[in-house]
Structures are given as C-alpha cells and as structure tokens.
Structure 1
Amino acid sequence: MSVQISAADVNKLRQQTGAGMMDCKKALIEANGDFEAAVDYLRKKGAKVAASRQDRESNEGVVIAKATADGKRGVVVELNCETDFVAKNADFIALANKFTDLAIENNPASLEDLLALQIDGQSVSEIIIENTGKIGEKIGISKYETVTGERVISYIHGNYRLGVLVALNQDIAGLEEAGKDVAMQIAAMNPVALDKADVDTRTIEREMEIAKDQIRAEGKPEEMVEKIAAGKLNKFYKDNTLLNQEFVKDSSKDVRKFLNDTAKDLTVIAFKRVQLGS
C-alpha cells in the first residue's frame, strides 16, 4: 500500500532541502514518507547530477575576496557554475560567501583542504554536490588564493567577476583608501609580477626573443640588437610589474612612489588577482 504524500509534506521537504517541488514529491514517494530517507534520496540524486555534468563547461560564477577582521590575512575564492542566470542568483552568491567565510575562519592550506572543511556536519565537497543537484548545473570551486601582510586590503570588481587582495608591509591609520587604489590598479592593469625581480625567467626570455625578432625585422644592425632589446625589456617591466607601473590615478608617478608618498617606505609585499574564468 502506497503512502499518501501531502502538499504540506512536499513543501516541508522543499523548505528543508531547497530542491524542486516535483523532486521532493518523488523523493518522499520513493522513501515511503520517511523524511530522512527522502533527504538521502535527494542527496544521492544530486551526486548523480554532479557526475553526469562533469563534461559541462562551468565558466560563469562569482569571485569573492575578503580580509580577516584583524586585516592580517586575505582570501579569494572563485565558485563556478554554467550560466550567468545562476551566477546572479542571491543564493548562489550567498553560498560563495559562506565558503569564503569558512576559509577566513579556518585558514586552509590548499583548495583540497578547503573542500574538506565542514559546515554543519557536511564537507564543502558534499555541499557542492548537493547544490549541483538542487541547481541542476555543474558547480565547483576552481580557485582559492590567500595572502598575509601587516595590512591586507580586499577588493571585488565588476559584479563579482574579479577579486583582488593587496598585502602591505605596514598597518597604520589611513591605509584603506591607498590599498583600494592599488587594488583597483591591479584589477585594471593586470600586472604579471610585483617587481622586476619577481618576473619568472621564462617570461623574460620570451620577451627578449620577441624584442630581438622585432628589431631584426626592422633591419637594425646585429650589434645594436642586444642594447635595443634591453630597452624594450625595461619598458615591459614598466608596463607589467606593479610597483613600476604608471599609477592610474596620477600618471606623474609610479605605484612605488604613490605608496611612499602615502607613508614613508610603504609598499606592497604580495598581491593576488583572480578573474572569473581565466
């Protein structure tokens, strides 16, 4: 004899799980009205949905950047989904914030460690699988970055599409605005490194080769190639390393001078820039 499932029961399960009405009704029927078994059924269904969507692209989503209450550490998390529609949903944004807050509280060493952390007895991985079932799209955390410093400033740009962390070497009054200005610089100008010494060898070699090929194509004599290429490399450093970049809000100075003018010897010691889907 089949158990009668009332609309009130379906609604109760829907409120409890966030799953769709028809999915909740089917789960209660399959579980003969047992709420715990119905929740398990929905979670298993979610796992199946997650598995069946592994080949789907999930390049939409949100990027959340936050700093700890004491301003000494910052984290940035990218939570992805398949469509812009889901990315703009308040519940999806709240889920991304929940994962970011968890990272702020627990300081996991890696993305794998973040996925293993628990909220109300469920790991982040399990919560992702469950929400894949609810939402009907492949979702997942693709990036987790962190920085530490005397003062860390966080910045979110473009409706959660880009997050920046800036770690400063000093913590004195009035740094918030300067830190935000540098974060906006990073968002806009996308530096490849903090300073000249931080550019990796492979990038330098590639830039030098490109410069030399351009110079030779212009017909310059071979004895001038190295010298001109070195000049082009210096231009690359000026355009692409944060402290040497022209400050966007005042082109008369670079970022290094802007910081030093704000407070003596103030500088950036680390930064992270996470752009959605890149």
Structure 2
Amino acid sequence: MLNKISSNSIKELRNKTGAGMTDCKKALQASNGNVETAIESLRKKGLASADKKASRLAAEGLVESYIHSGSRIGVLLEINCETDFVSRQPAFRELAKNIAMQIAASQSVKYVALSDIPDNLITYEKNIELGKEDLIDKKDEMKEKIAQGRLDKRLKELSLMDQIFIRDSQITVEELIKQHISLWGENIKIRRFEKFLLGEGINSKPKSFVEEVSTMVSS
C-alpha cells in the first residue's frame, strides 16, 4: 500500500490539514488514498487532545479584516496559531474570515470568552437581574436561582466563543476552533477583536446588521 500513496497526495493532505508528513501518509494508507476520508481521520485523531493543546504558546497567525457590504460595519481580528506554516494555509485565512464575519453578525458580542468578562460587569448584570420586578415577591433562594440563570444567558450573549457558528448551527465558535486545533495539531487562539459601527457614539441610532450578514452568509 505504501507504494500506491503518491507524494502529491501526501503533499495535498499536508497542505489541507497542516499535519505532519508521517501522519498524512498513515492516514492516506488507512483510507486507501481517499483524501477526504484521511482528513476526517486526522480530525478525529486529534480531537481528544485539542484541550491539551490549548495551553501551548500561539505566537504566529494573522490579523484579518471584514467590511460588510455597504461599508457600515467593520471588524479587525487577531487570530493566533503556533507556526507560520499553518498561518499561511488558505483554510486558516478562511477560518479567520468566518470568525470576523461572525463578530459582525453578533451585535451583543464584546469579549472573546466568558473568562474575559470583568467581574464588575458580572456583578452589575446580576444586580440588574435581581432587581427586576417579576422577582420582587419571590423567596431569596428562588430569586437567586432565576437571576443566576438569566445572568448565565446574558454573559453567553457577550462571549464570542459561546455563539452558534453562523455557517453551521450545530456547533459553537468554540467547537469550531477545537475542530481546527485537532485538524492541524496546533493551538489556535482568538486573541482580540474590534468592531466598528458607522456613526457609533454620534447620537445616531445603530442599525441591525445580523439579518443582513446572515443573508449574505447563506447566499
């Protein structure tokens, strides 16, 4: 079987996945030369170790931009990986573009992950929930339980990693990142982003871009 796996097939699989030459060769041998099956095999093989890779230093990567049609909303995103080999892959740039588009479509998102939300904001949001009229007459234990549930939902609205991926409603952005960690065998981090809305802060009413971006994504 070894002689039936061409170097071009191994190179193609390496370019698509970023996996090592040996792993690519073994995956192709196991899949009888089927590249797509080999990609799935490599993804499954690395999925279990994705969380372990999350602590590794990711200092390469790129800065991606996304300007929505009409030039009324823009996003700048820094996404990191471990090697420049992966950062140069077209699939890595596509991932960055998709995440930038996700940010544009997610109006409430302000932080990369739940762990980035400041404690003072969490306290502020919880106090708002505890002070709502429909909880006034409830017992303290029930009030706390309901307020916490609402708070958890609100915080997830602010977290990019907790958003449902706009191109696949079956996964979150966090799961999307983990899929690519397992695919390439490298840690991938969304480090930071900035969103710009035309006229924001000039006492103008911001428009909703969610439906507009989602329509463009599905077309």
Give the structure-2-normalised TM-score. 0.49
Q: Which has the higher helix share?
A: 2
Structure with larger Rg? 1
Q: Which structure ranks higher in relative contact order (CA pairs < 8 Å, sequence separation ≥ 6)? A: 2
Q: Which has the higher strand share?
A: 1
Give the structure-1-normalised TM-score. 0.41
